[in-house]
Structure 1
Amino acid sequence: MIPSFLARLAVAGLLISNVLADSEFDWETLTATASLNWTSCYTGFECSLLEVPLDYSADKGNASIAVVRYPSTAPKSEYLGPILFNPGGPGGSGVTTIVALGAEFAEIFGNQFDIVGFDPRGVSFSKPAVSFFKTAAERQSWTAPDLDFRYPSLNASAGVIPNVWGQFQLIGQLAEERDTDDVLQYITTDNVARDMLRISQAFGYEKLQYWGVSYGSLLGATFATLFPNNVGRIAIDGIMDWEAWYSSNLTGSLQDTDKTLQTFFDGCVAAGPSACAFYAPSSAEIAANLAALTESIRAQPFPVKTDISHGLVDFTFFRNYIFAALYSPYNAFAGFAQGLAALASGNATGVYAANQAPEFECDCSVDRAPFTENIYESLIATSCGDGPQLNDSISDLRAFYERQTELSSFADIWGLWRIHCTGWKVHRPGRFQGPVGGNTSFPLLVIGNTADPVTPLAWAHKASAAFPGSVVLTQDTPGHMSLVAPSLCTHGALRAYFQNGTLPAAGTVCEPDASAVLFPGAPNATANTSTTNAPKTLLATAADGKLLDAVRKIGNVVRPIAAMGRPL
């Protein structure tokens, strides 16, 4: 919700650039209005800017929300309204996600729906934009071009926590001083939820239909709490806990992280040496080899120079490299094993090159940065603006980190979520901070994975308990959110929920499609994907195959976006 925080931003930015390359659209040509006035955009889409209040409790001017739809092709008599989607982050662009994947979303849900993406306030094409920096060069001074811009491991040295604390004290000062239009306090999740209601109403629907993944799950739960009578169909997937989010204490995210890593160890053993390059005869031996490699890199990092960048594969790089693989095991584990084997043999070039970003070049003819470059700021503004006022000292943060180590070996990567809000001073009085829950006009569908590294299954059950009548659908996969692997059981249930309101039976556990394997080419590949023994679901029709193909394509784009800020 990622080789690193900003490395994943670079990946997402590349995806966005590829999406927009074939058919550019200038959002500056649109005028925001209180209704949706559609203009043809990109290829086969329609765009509009929706005017909404900047402050829903007082007249403080307006914000404009960028909205795109992949239009329904069904007859009017069969039309079922809009389905809004949020790809997580926070900071992910719903516009570019749907422009990339509108047809695939329609394949899942059916052509009776408008498939709708929107950029939350402060993000991408929506205005006001969030920016702490005056120039692209100044922004780049905080986010260096190579993998020094990864999450710093708090265990790399004694100086990391003080240095990071100091950096975010400065970020907080810059944000506050440069917020001359007084907009940052309104970049909050509760206001995005209010904007979603306005979007649905502008379509002519009082009840929201919505699918939110990762941070988008928190957004969906917040909407359902604020507007329980406006819930049409809301599916939340990869559940972020409200109590953790609104208290700026995401320690509980790590409940299943080591369990996810264990699936790598166990899967590698099951796959055998022909399919897992880091193979050893037992899970314990693979774990020990990984620990030894980690300490070796701590003692002596690898300097690497490529044609487009240079940097170090050091302890922090390596810790991020491991953590990144846990987000997308079915896509990552085989390559991750190859990377580990290469590092163990003394070759770091491939691992570094696969995660590098080009050196920064400033285009001095451009007076403002491309929209994709404010993802960093919008994430900080939303996550810190939602939370409480923090005044943690360096000693407080050291103690916080030590408490996290009692839960997971990945506490060194996760502590930054707390630190990056310690210098934030912009908070709107009266903002929503929980609790979430209550009776809704239609029950929610809640989806969680058995071994999610950052949004544990326990949080799915906690969310469901807060919304009477909701149902937890469990997908028996490692990785973050259901899009980690296509599942006819899971995503067929998602389709049925939106098309006719059918909820899966309580206690349903879904397996991924048989093609989803952790280590392709293993003699027993179909046996190394699950943590339980839920029955496999076989394809029945060609339409089932199209649904699974659509899920694969959506997952390939959404996973990096959802994980931008880890976890969301």
Structure 2
Amino acid sequence: MLSSTLLLFAILHLPIALGASEFDWQKHKASTKLTWAPCYDGFECTRLQVPLDYTAPKNGTASIAVVRFRSTSPKSEYRGPLLFNPGGPGGSGVDAVVGAGPAFAAVFGPEFDIVGFDPRGVSYSTPAISFFKTDVERELLIPTVPNIVYPSLNASSNTLSQEWARWQLVGQLAVARDEGGYLQHMTTDNIARDMLQITEAFGYAKLQYWGISYGSVLGATFASLFPDKIGRLIIDGVEDMDGYYSGNTTFEMRDTDKAMQTFFDGCAAAGPADCAFHAPSASQISENLAALTSAIRDQPVPVITADSHGIVDFVVLRNAILNALFSPYDSFGVLAAGLAALAGGDAAPIYALNSVPTFECQYNASVLPFHSNNLESYLTIAGGDAAAVNESIPQLQQFYENATKVSNFADLLASTRVLYSGWKIHRAGRFQGPVGAKNTSFPLLIVGNTVDPATPLAGAVKAVQAFPRSALLTLNAVGHTSLTAPSLCLYGYFRQYFINGTLPQPGTVCSVDATLFAPSSGNATERRDLETERLLEAGRTIGAVVRRGASRRV
């Protein structure tokens, strides 16, 4: 959700501040020990060799790309590695930490090595998950359409059947090109085992971890498999574990419409100066948006920008709206301006939201400086984790119709089920739950937003029940995961948890240090000391880097 999170998307990375050209991962020999090399101007990189199949350790290996932003504390104060997963599945922890390493250290403290890793098969880790022979083949089957995270099952009368056929074809290609049967080993339980290998390679017996969105599945799976190996573990933006492992994401739509309502309510309250799509009431704004969406369905708008071109149609508009719900404190004002422009005939601002350069056969490393295989990564990991979905088109249509009773965005979000219906590679004996453990070596800290469009707070509540010694920390915020906006309160609890093991009291709720439709007047800015501003900026940086690396689309 994708998030991750978690829904029908593949994570499509946008450029990070430092490109892959600055470190050649393949020239660094993988080892069972952490053999660090300088990389990315201030970081250290290595490739850790792990078993491809943990039940048969001699039958091949995988190499995990690992980066660290090194602790600056003296040895007496050093507290070991803190691993981070940015979601997906398919998110690059390497890109996240390289993009925001100092910001992570500002939030958690200088005592830790901030560690990012690419899960097995993802990005710089090998063997790479891949079942397209060329980028052109991938593009022809799965076009890189700007703004598209999810296809809409309501776009036309035959969209669902077309999507079914597309994902059946992708699944068949995966089976045909699965040389040596390695794809079956690209599952969350094995990624959890890899995290333990990383931790032990640092010389530590217990994991310290923060995972968001799909990272909550990874963290909870680790805690279920290795309850005695937890040093500190935060899961944030918590997925419904039963839904994830069964391939049913309906639970995740429970609060999507609530998030949409905050746009209507906030825009009405903000006034025309701060919400360009303003109307006197929330209901009128909702009606105006429905009318605009209907008009765009009937008459899409062509767009040409400096570096791209395309069409804003019903699907692009729906995705632009949904995307804004994930990071509303940054996006609602921009979305409102885009909607107002679109109503006036200018589609460029909506098109620009999460757009990507037009695909070119000649790869341009200066525009996209990374190796991305995240479409395949998402499908392989999430599809391989889930129970097999052997449903016909009529059955999938019924699933979609049932989902429309949960959310008005079901046309986008229910498409995950169609994707899973094409995936046929499932390893016997893989972990599928139940998720939970009565006695973990240290309690988990479980974080949820009051209104999350992809991982409802109810998912965090269920996780607390699955791990009885854990603590729930609620963020009074709209958006996906705690990265939706900075929160001094939240960062304080994070640091106390990692440093002292302190858990928040039951019922603890933190607020965010941000507002929806922030007033344009400078008089509304609160004066803060420099250290506080630096911490808030660190939180904003982490959120921006992770979101930039997790633009979602299929």
TM-score (norm 2): 0.94
Aligned to 1:409: 408
Which structure 2 residues correspond to residues 219-234 of structure 1 after superposition, within 5 A?
219-234=218-233
Aligned to 1:446: 446
SS at match of 1:65: strand
1:439-458 Cα offsets, whole Å, 9 max, x none, are 20000001100110000001
Residue 502 and residue 563 in structure 1: after superposition, are their counterparts in 2 closer, same or farther (change >3 A)? farther
1:341-364 Cα offsets, whole Å, 9 max, x none, are 111122212322444332222138
Aligned to 2:248: 249
SS at match of 1:224: helix
Residue 240 and residue 364 in structure 1: after superposition, are their counterparts in 2 closer, same or farther (change >3 A)? closer
Aligned to 2:199: 200
How far did residue 6 of structure 1 move? 10
2:531 to 520, 535, 543: 543
Which structure 2 residues correspond to residues 153-552 of structure 1 after superposition, within 5 A?
153-363=152-362, 372-438=371-437, 439-513=439-513, 516-521=514-519, 542-552=530-540
Aligned to 2:33: 35
SS at match of 2:35: coil
How far did residue 8 of structure 1 move? 8.5
SS at match of 1:228: coil
User: How many residues are matched?
Assistant: 548
Residue 145 and residue 198 in structure 1: after superposition, are their counterparts in 2 closer, same or farther (change >3 A)? closer
How far did residue 414 of structure 1 move? 0.6
Residue 7 and residue 464 in structure 1: after superposition, are their counterparts in 2 closer, same or farther (change >3 A)? closer
Which structure 2 residues correspond to residues 72-111 of structure 1 after superposition, within 5 A?
72-111=71-110
Residue 9 and residue 462 in structure 1: after superposition, are their counterparts in 2 closer, same or farther (change >3 A)? closer
Aligned to 1:14: 15
How far did residue 504 of structure 1 move? 1.1
Give yes or no for contact 1:6–1:143 (8 Å, CA) kept in 2: no
1:162-217 Cα offsets, whole Å, 9 max, x none, are 00000000000000000112110000000000000000000111110000011001
How far did residue 429 of structure 1 move? 0.2
Aligned to 2:143: 144
Letter in 2 for 1:425: K
Report the Cα distance in structure 1 between the residues aligned to 2:182 and 2:8, rounded to whole angstroms.
24
Which piece of structure 1 moves more, 225-234 or 293-302? 293-302
Report the Cα distance in structure 2 between the residues aligned to 1:192 and 1:222, rounded to whole angstroms.
9
Report the Cα distance in structure 2 between the residues aligned to 1:435 and 1:6, rounded to whole angstroms.
23
Report the Cα distance in structure 1 between the residues aligned to 2:347 and 2:198, rounded to whole angstroms.
48
Report the Cα distance in structure 1 between the residues aligned to 2:352 and 2:148, rounded to whole angstroms.
15
How far did residue 152 of structure 1 move? 1.3
Letter in 2 for 1:29: K
Report the Cα distance in structure 2 between the residues aligned to 1:493 and 1:85, rounded to whole angstroms.
17
1:440-481 Cα offsets, whole Å, 9 max, x none, are 000000110011000000101100111012111111110000
Residue 210 and residue 24 in structure 1: after superposition, are their counterparts in 2 closer, same or farther (change >3 A)? same
Report the Cα distance in structure 2 between the residues aligned to 1:282 and 1:425, rounded to whole angstroms.
49
Report the Cα distance in structure 2 between the residues aligned to 1:470 and 1:424, rounded to whole angstroms.
35
Report the Cα distance in structure 2 between the residues aligned to 1:232 and 1:382, rounded to whole angstroms.
26
Report the Cα distance in structure 2 between the residues aligned to 1:401 and 1:70, rounded to whole angstroms.
44
Report the Cα distance in structure 1 between the residues aligned to 2:501 and 2:60, rounded to whole angstroms.
38
Residue 116 and residue 233 in structure 1: after superposition, are their counterparts in 2 closer, same or farther (change >3 A)? same
Aligned to 2:124: 125
SS at match of 1:91: coil
Structure 2: stretches of 5+ with no match in the other structure: none
Report the Cα distance in structure 2 between the residues aligned to 1:76 and 1:303, rounded to whole angstroms.
59
How far did residue 146 of structure 1 move? 3.5
How far did residue 19 of structure 1 move? 2.3
Structure 1: stretches of 5+ with no match in the other structure: 528-537
Give yes or no for contact 2:71–2:111 (8 Å, CA) kept in 1: yes
How far did residue 496 of structure 1 move? 1.1
SS at match of 2:389: coil
Residue 294 and residue 525 in structure 1: after superposition, are their counterparts in 2 closer, same or farther (change >3 A)? farther
1:207-250 Cα offsets, whole Å, 9 max, x none, are 10000011001100000000000011000100011101000000
Residue 230 and residue 284 in structure 1: after superposition, are their counterparts in 2 closer, same or farther (change >3 A)? same
Report the Cα distance in structure 1 between the residues aligned to 2:468 and 2:531, rounded to whole angstroms.
33
Letter in 2 for 1:391: N
Report the Cα distance in structure 1 between the residues aligned to 2:138 and 2:36, rounded to whole angstroms.
34
Residue 354 and residue 323 in structure 1: after superposition, are their counterparts in 2 closer, same or farther (change >3 A)? closer
Aligned to 1:555: 543
How far did residue 540 of structure 1 move? 8.0
Report the Cα distance in structure 1 between the residues aligned to 2:450 and 2:116, rounded to whole angstroms.
28
Residue 476 and residue 563 in structure 1: after superposition, are their counterparts in 2 closer, same or farther (change >3 A)? farther
Letter in 2 for 1:489: C
How far did residue 144 of structure 1 move? 2.4
Give yes or no for contact 2:10–2:379 (8 Å, CA) kept in 1: no
Give yes or no for contact 1:447–1:482 (8 Å, CA) kept in 2: yes
Report the Cα distance in structure 1 between the residues aligned to 2:85 and 2:325, rounded to whole angstroms.
22
Report the Cα distance in structure 1 between the residues aligned to 2:76 and 2:521, rounded to whole angstroms.
51
1:519-553 Cα offsets, whole Å, 9 max, x none, are 122679989xxxxxxxxxx9986433322111110
Residue 6 and residue 429 in structure 1: after superposition, are their counterparts in 2 closer, same or farther (change >3 A)? closer
- Compute the RMSD of aligned alpha carbons: 2.4
Aligned to 1:534: none
Identity of aligned residues (%): 55
Report the Cα distance in structure 2 between the residues aligned to 1:359 and 1:328, rounded to whole angstroms.
25
Report the Cα distance in structure 1 between the residues aligned to 2:147 and 2:531, rounded to whole angstroms.
45
Report the Cα distance in structure 1 between the residues aligned to 2:361 and 2:146, rounded to whole angstroms.
18
Report the Cα distance in structure 1 between the residues aligned to 2:435 and 2:215, rounded to whole angstroms.
14
How far did residue 303 of structure 1 move? 2.0
TM-score (norm 1): 0.92
Report the Cα distance in structure 1 between the residues aligned to 2:147 and 2:325, rounded to whole angstroms.
20
Report the Cα distance in structure 2 between the residues aligned to 1:136 and 1:81, rounded to whole angstroms.
39
SS at match of 2:172: helix
Which piece of structure 1 moves more, 89-98 or 165-174? 89-98
1:49-74 Cα offsets, whole Å, 9 max, x none, are 11111001113211111111111111
Residue 355 and residue 364 in structure 1: after superposition, are their counterparts in 2 closer, same or farther (change >3 A)? closer
Give yes or no for contact 2:11–2:91 (8 Å, CA) kept in 1: no
Report the Cα distance in structure 1 between the residues aligned to 2:192 and 2:39, rounded to whole angstroms.
25
Which piece of structure 1 moves more, 548-557 or 137-146? 137-146
Letter in 2 for 1:491: Y
SS at match of 1:373: coil
